[in-house]
Amino acid sequence: MRMLLVIPISLALVHRQFNTALGLFAIAAASDAADGFLAKRCGWQSAIGAILDPLADKLLLATLFVLLAMLGLVPLWLTAVAVGRDIVIMLGAIAFRVCIGPVEMRPSGISKLNTLCQATFILCVTAKQGLAMPPGWVVVMLGSLTFAIAVISGIDYVMRYGRSAWETAAARRAIPAGGRPRA
């Protein structure tokens, strides 16, 4: 549902219909929360869902960051960090898959916090335009928090999957072509 809402939310923002965008974004956030709750509560987890859920988050948040930056409502440097983090993670996952093997992307707590911070920041930026609230200092504080958490989360991903690649490569070097471990 979040993927389908990217277009109408984007159109609402482009036409500066901030209250409409805010309402649609709230629906997207509620669908994400319901999806996560039902997946865990009812055991409705699937391989495709494990891919589509974070992809939907990234598509929605990256699109909105870029649009809000184009409208001059979000600093370009913050957009670059938020979107750049996701690009680094995706390129890292592709490199891992090509060089090492299948990638088991499990979001860490800091990664989930990053998504929450980004969504809350976008929600507040949009609400500030449509409803004249929250106060500007709240938006600035959330932007600063979003920046810090995005950087920390990006470093966490690079370190975790870099370590995994290193350990996998080391294990492969320890087992020669014949299949027996080296003494």
Residue 24 has pLDDT above 90, yes or no: yes
Q: What angle do CA 135, 128, 65 make, to 5 degrees?
A: 120
Q: How far is 183 from 99, CA to CA, in rounded Å? A: 26
d(Cα 101, Cα 144) in Å, to the nearest integer? 36
pLDDT 10s digits, 41-92: 887 777 777 778 888 889 999 999 999 999 999 999 999 999 999 999 889 8
Helix 136-174 / helix 109-131 crossing angle, nearest 10 deg: 160
Burial bucket for residue 94 (CB in 10 Å: 0-12, 13-18, 19+): exposed
pLDDT digits (tens, 9 = 90+) for 157-182: 999 988 888 888 788 887 766 666 55
Q: Sketch out the chain's domains with CATH numbers.
A: 2-174 (1.20.120)
- Quote the percentage of the chain above a pLDDT of 70: 96
Length of the chain, in residues: 183
The DSSP call for residue 97 is H
Look up the pTM and report it: 0.86
Asked if residue 106 has pLDDT above 90, the reply is no
Whether the upstream peptide bond of residue 134 has omega within 30° of 0, thus cis, is yes
Distance (Å, rounded) from C-alpha 4 to C-alpha 28?
9
